[in-house]
Chains A and B, each alone.
Chain A
């Protein structure tokens, strides 16, 4: 029996067609795209083609708006640091409490350098309050950076609307769309979004390639200065093979998006329903009405996420968790905390994120495997009444720790 991979929000399998497309660029197509001779030209044309495909995937107006980077994190950093350097008189940033660490840790560091960061709160379903956002839009704000979809819950944010609101106040808008690109239709030319980040390995391209979309006319300051690559906006010899791979992956994403939005969504819904029906005391986190088609995040009460993952891994099932123990921190996921998920459940969240490679048979196997795993761990838990198969009544009262 094959292992089951349901951790596609972490990374995806490189599509075999993408690998095929890339291979010549490790062998005969080795030229430097900046070179004027035929060796360089061939690679240069391949990059041009890939850039065009990514432009089409994003609905960008010009292919020169596509800047290849090494990853999503680099694109995020470039966007925010560029906005600050290009507008030195503006010292404020707006973002959300539930962003990816690529944004949050950068913002935290910028706070130590004298910048003010406004972190938008979310409600219990992980949704943003646009009125609170509106109040923060002043001429002191250099950039608003709001993720398109949350990596843990899949909750989708109304970034197009938020970009328009920012534009009315003359504020640059960036979106970390790492989880959205390839899963949701995007049309940037008709939006007020100035900058967007994407990451190749989230859409079946290899790791080590990302993109920063930069709307023409947006004031920009490069993160990496040096050669003239990427029109001087991101110096460094291009990772040609990976760029070609991303181009192919972008094409496949466009070809498959409609299919993914129905096929994968149906699998996800079946998985969710199967688990909720057979496992007591668990619930879906995030906004079930407005989320990525491939993602479901389930909180299992009174057990811990890493332990669930280890037992699932023994059954050949790969998923991920927002528990403290999986990250090595003492706190459960910042996303769960921001949504106010109680501690009884926040440590026991498991994210299943599917892709076009998952099958119904795999979903059935997971539905079968999860209930006994949860039951086994609950039997060990001091907060669970094994006889009644229910949580202890007032567990915090019966469990009286000396050291808490």
Chain B
């Protein structure tokens, strides 16, 4: 059962601009029969002005694929090709009042067809750098290929790291088993063994009363820290450098989703960051901030609290 918006239904049941455009001077083909989704986008572009005069689609695919194709043609008609190219798959999904996570690839197909059609119009060659895998994380619509590639490229070895780099697993956590399976395979390929971290102990100290005649046990060796901690006490400058470096590692992931993060201030354990772009008002911002906080704690080897604020809020908070 898919929970389709009324807008999706409207564009599926009564698609706009179905069929090929007569006198088209641009064609973009994406998808294939084997993957169950294929889209041909045809455009009529004014060669003098580069304005898209007409757009038409032919789609082999599901309700979302047809609706996304229809929406795309409506969105681009009348636009300059450069303006049209700025349309992201998220824009297509937003135009349709959202798509289920399993169906986001339909909006991606729309965007790719547009890129292919514009390249065709300009006589350019487009390389197929696209690969798609089974959906792993439904909360953030992250597929297997992305998780594997990220694990491989960054030598990741824990679910937490995968979440920090890709967001996968940062929501309901039901995909953690699938992520662990990927980690097991990828780590085995590089000659390592995946070991799940121990379950975090409760903060409550259990008091064990010893009998008077019993010797006191030797204190146990302190457990090794999970992450490599910087040795010795850090100066403020050193801490800021480490924080900046850790944020630099996270930023590409956020930027891929049209978001970003910026360090505003460090006040002891409190680290103030500014969320930018799509991260602002995102309903999953809490998970993003949690991921950032985890990453900074690992980098610094100490507990820190990350708070997202605006410059104005920061002024009120720390009185700068």
Contacts and interface: CB of A to CB of B under 8 A. Distances in A.
Interface string A332-361: 100000000001100100000000000000
B126 A402 contact: yes
Contact of A382 (B60, B126, B133): B60
Interface stretch (B25-33, B206-214, B241-249, B262-270): B25-33
B134 A381 contact: no
A343 B128 CA distance: 21
Q: Which of A302, A400, A404 neighbours the largest number of chain B CB atoms within 10 Å of its CB? A: A404
Contact of A380 (B28, B30, B32, B59): B59
A6 to B, nearest CB: 17
B35 A382 contact: no
A395 B33 contact: yes
A396 B32 CA distance: 8
Contacts of A328: 102, 135
A209 to B, nearest CB: 23
Interface stretch (A183-191, A238-246, A303-311): A303-311
Q: Which of A303, A323, A330 neighbours the largest number of chain B CB atoms within 10 Å of its CB? A: A330
B112 A383 contact: no
A384 to B, nearest CB: 8
A96 B19 CA distance: 42
A307 B62 contact: yes
A347 B36 CA distance: 6
Contacts of A162: none
A403 B113 CA distance: 8
A113 interface: no
B253 interface: no
A86 interface: no
A26 interface: no
A380 B13 CA distance: 12
Contacts of A326: 62
B116 interface: yes
B32 A401 contact: yes
Contacts of A402: 28-30, 112, 115-116, 119, 126, 128
A403 B130 contact: yes
Interface string A210-224: 000000000000000
Q: Classify chain A: how many residues form its interface, as a range.
A: 35 or more
A314 B112 CA distance: 30
A318 to B, nearest CB: 11
B40 interface: yes
A302 to B, nearest CB: 7
Interface string B1-24: 010000000001101001100000
A401 B35 CA distance: 12
Contacts of B88: none
Interface in A355-404: 379-383, 386, 395-396, 399-404
Contacts of A380: 15, 18-19, 57-60, 66
B13 A382 contact: no
A306 B33 contact: no
B63 A347 contact: no
Contact of B61 (A307, A314, A343, A401): A307
Given A330-B132, A383-B38, A304 B62 contact: yes
A396 B63 contact: no
Contacts of A307: 12, 61-63, 65-66
A381 B59 contact: yes
Contacts of B52: none
A332 B137 CA distance: 20
A401 B29 contact: yes
A303 B37 CA distance: 9
A286 to B, nearest CB: 20
B102 A382 contact: no
A261 B259 CA distance: 60
A19 interface: no
Q: Which of B13, B38, B130 neighbours the largest number of chain A CB atoms within 10 Å of its CB? A: B38
Contacts of B32: 343, 396, 401, 404
17 contacts: A303-B60, A307-B63, A310-B12, A325-B63, A328-B135, A330-B35, A343-B33, A347-B33, A347-B36, A380-B58, A380-B66, A382-B38, A382-B39, A382-B40, A383-B33, A403-B116, A403-B130
Given A112-B181, A302-B60, A379-B18, 7 more contacts: A380-B60, A382-B29, A396-B33, A400-B29, A403-B116, A403-B126, A404-B34
The 8 residue pairs across chains A and B that have the minimum distance between CB atoms: A325-B62, A382-B58, A328-B102, A306-B62, A347-B36, A402-B116, A382-B40, A403-B130
